[in-house]
Amino acid sequence: MTTVIEYTEGCYETQEVELGKVYRWYPECVLVECDCGETTTLTSSETTCAWCGADHAATVREELAARQLDDEIAHPWRYVWEREDAGVPY
């Protein structure tokens, strides 16, 4: 029986660069304890245990489908104009 230990919401990491910002996506993931006794981090694209090769696609799909990302987390660039420091400097 695979046990879900922890869920981590997907997010963008914002990096300041010379002409603006760059957004790097970190996908949502789940930390599971496999039947083999090892714990591994799985995402929607990586669903197999790194130790024994067991496929946990159904468990990952079920856990991730139960959660919805907030639009501001999924698309932070849409909300940049709402911040005080946004805009073109003079």
Q: Write down the pLDDT at residue 72.
A: 72
Q: How many Å apart are CA 28 and CA 64, to the nearest integer? A: 8
**pTM of the predicted model over 0.75:** no
The parent domain of residue 16 ranges over: 3-82
**Does some domain include residue 9?**
yes
**Does some domain include residue 89?**
no
Residue 17 pLDDT more than 80? yes
Instruction: Pick left, alpha or beta for residue 20 (phi over 0 → left; psi -120 to 50 → alpha; otherwise beta).
Output: left
For the chain, what is the domain count? 1
Tens-digit pLDDT profile for residues 43-67: 989 999 989 999 999 988 888 877 7
Q: Write down the pLDDT at residue 55.
A: 94
Q: Dihedral, CA atoms, 66, 39, 26, 53, nearest 10 degrees? A: -90
Compute how many other C-beta atoms are within 10 angstroms of the C-beta atom of residue 42: 23
Six token digits for residue 63? 């856990």
